[in-house]
């Protein structure tokens, strides 16, 4: 079986690229012929809020990656589409996460499927973006009309897909573990590397900083009088994708500025394990979400989690077993943090995480894609009769 991926990959950085590369590797381990077609231009510079779109790490070994697609050049979409149509992969696996990409990805998919051979399957992260803009609905509709099936990472997204397409096979499979960041360090090794006091306890907020991720809510929760005097620190590890001063000022106004430690840059793959190994509790105070790769990194490193009851997060973290699922409100977050430390939940929650993470294997994702493929073939066969 030949599978061609269409989406982010090396030299682009971030969770989408890491996911695609890891999934491609899993298919390769299962003896599939796999390659990834990624972007020559992913986002125009004026639309990208970070410092760089590119990783400074080495290319992943054993994965065929070719830079081919320009997200804003319609002539390139046609050239890429006709090239892939001619290659006749069994599956074109398209990553969809943002309406901005719909014209590009949807056009290529339409051209490829016109060969009457290739099945178009999308791994859909979000149907509706976290930060909405005019035209999102129509762009997403354009893309959704181009696919034959979808793999989604939560029930929430499955329902969203059904709002556009209830005539295609859709499989729900949880976001697999991000197991590409190496083995965990001892707590003391990690804290030493970060030059942090081993006598303190640490909360971790990890990932790029945008409004929907709720760092402002967490800072307010952390400023609660009930958390003062506990020798508790908050690590914020990630690059700002919006106004940094806003969050710095919130930290100052909280009265806990010295206890909030910012690592305000994109965290390289080699450093991810250091931050998670140092943390006692990983906090995701999101205002909206579908699912999160941060959760799966926490599972990989056996870390308890505090997530908010939005989107599909509650589907992944069993409440009061692997962590907490609370409302995205400062008081609720503070209550959970207090319960975690006062009742010494760390070891019990970590043990549950170790057991729970067995559900999140990569072969379940490849099985889902394969199942969708055969359902699409069956549908085509029935239609031809």
Domain ranges of the chain: 2-176+361-384, 187-359
292 pLDDT band, cuts 50/70/90, is confident
| Separation CA 245–CA 253 (nearest Å) | 12
pLDDT at 91 over 90: yes
**What is the per-residue pLDDT for 47?**
72
C-alpha distance across the termini of the chain, in Å: 25
Q: What is the pLDDT of residues 102-111, one digit of tens each?
A: 999 999 999 9
DSSP secondary structure code for residue 101 in this structure: G
Instruction: Please give, one letter per residue, the 3-state secondary structure of 145-163.
Output: CCCCEEEECCHHHHHHHHC
Mean residue pLDDT of the chain comes to 95
260 pLDDT band, cuts 50/70/90, is very high
Once rounded to an integer, what is the mean pLDDT over residues 288-315? 92
**What is the per-residue pLDDT for 41?**
96
For domain 2-176+361-384, the question of CATH label 3.30.56.10 is answered with no
pLDDT at 133 over 90: no
CB 295 within 8 A of CB 289: no
Alpha helices by DSSP H, the chain: 15-29, 74-87, 102-113, 136-144, 155-162, 187-194, 215-222, 244-254, 269-278, 293-300, 313-316, 330-342, 346-356, 362-384
Once rounded to an integer, what is the mean pLDDT over residues 263-270? 93
Length of the chain measured in residues = 385
The reported pTM is 0.89
Q: Which 3 state secondary structure label does DSSP give 54?
A: strand
Q: What is the pLDDT of residues 153-185, one digit of tens each?
A: 999 999 999 999 999 999 999 999 999 999 999
Out of 75-79, 271-275, 315-319, 336-340, pick the least confident. 315-319
CATH number of 187-359: 3.40.50.2000
Q: What is the pLDDT of residues 327-379, one digit of tens each?
A: 999 999 999 999 999 999 999 999 999 999 999 999 999 999 999 999 999 99
What burial letters (b/e) apply to 232-254, b meaning 16+ CB within 10 Å? bbbbbbbbbbeeeeebeebbeeb
pLDDT at 207 over 80: yes
What burial letters (b/e) apply to 116-150, b meaning 16+ CB within 10 Å? eebbbbbbbbbbebbeeeeebeebbbbbbebbbbb
Residue 48 backbone phi and psi in degrees, to 5: -100, 120
2-176+361-384 and 187-359 share one CATH topology?
yes
132 pLDDT band, cuts 50/70/90, is confident
């Amino acid at each position: 079986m030949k599978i061609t991926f269409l989406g982010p990959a090396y030299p682009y950085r971030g969770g989408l690229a890491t996911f695609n590369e890891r999934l491609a590797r899993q298919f390769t381990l299962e003896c599939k012929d796999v390659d990834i077609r990624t972007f020559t231009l992913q986002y125009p510079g004026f639309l990208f809020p970070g410092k760089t779109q590119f990783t400074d790490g080495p290319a992943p070994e054993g994965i065929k990656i070719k830079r081919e697609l320009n997200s804003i050049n319609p002539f390139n979409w046609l050239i890429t589409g006709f090239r892939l149509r001619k290659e006749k992969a069994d599956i074109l696996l398209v990553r969809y996460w943002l309406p901005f990409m719909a014209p590009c990805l949807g056009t290529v998919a339409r051209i490829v499927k016109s060969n009457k051979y290739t099945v178009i399957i999308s791994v859909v992260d979000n149907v509706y973006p976290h930060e909405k803009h005019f035209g999102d609905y129509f762009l997403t509709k354009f893309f959704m009309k181009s696919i034959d099936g979808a793999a989604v990472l939560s029930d929430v997204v499955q329902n969203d897909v059904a709002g556009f397409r209830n005539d295609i096979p859709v499989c729900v499979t949880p976001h697999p573990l991000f197991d590409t960041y190496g083995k965990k360090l001892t707590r003391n090794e990690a804290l030493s590397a970060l030059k942090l006091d081993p006598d303190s306890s640490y909360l971790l907020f990890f990932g790029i900083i945008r409004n929907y991720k709720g760092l402002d809510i967490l800072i307010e929760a952390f400023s609660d009088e009930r958390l003062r005097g506990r020798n508790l620190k908050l690590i914020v590890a990630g690059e700002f994708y919006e106004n940094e001063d806003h969050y710095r000022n919130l930290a100052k106004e909280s009265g806990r500025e010295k206890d909030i430690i910012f690592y305000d840059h994109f965290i390289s793959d080699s450093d991810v394990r250091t931050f998670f190994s140092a943390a006692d509790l990983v906090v995701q105070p999101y205002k909206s979400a579908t699912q999160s790769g941060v959760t799966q990194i926490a599972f990989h490193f056996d870390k308890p989690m505090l997530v908010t009851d939005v989107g599909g997060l509650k589907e992944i973290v069993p409440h009061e077993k692997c962590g907490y699922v609370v409302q995205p409100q400062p008081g609720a977050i503070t209550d959970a943090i207090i319960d975690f430390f006062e009742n010494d939940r760390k070891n019990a929650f970590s043990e549950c995480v170790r057991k729970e993470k067995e559900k999140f294997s990569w072969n379940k994702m490849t099985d889902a894609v394969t199942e969708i493929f055969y359902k699409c073939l069956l549908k085509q066969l029935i239609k031809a009769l």
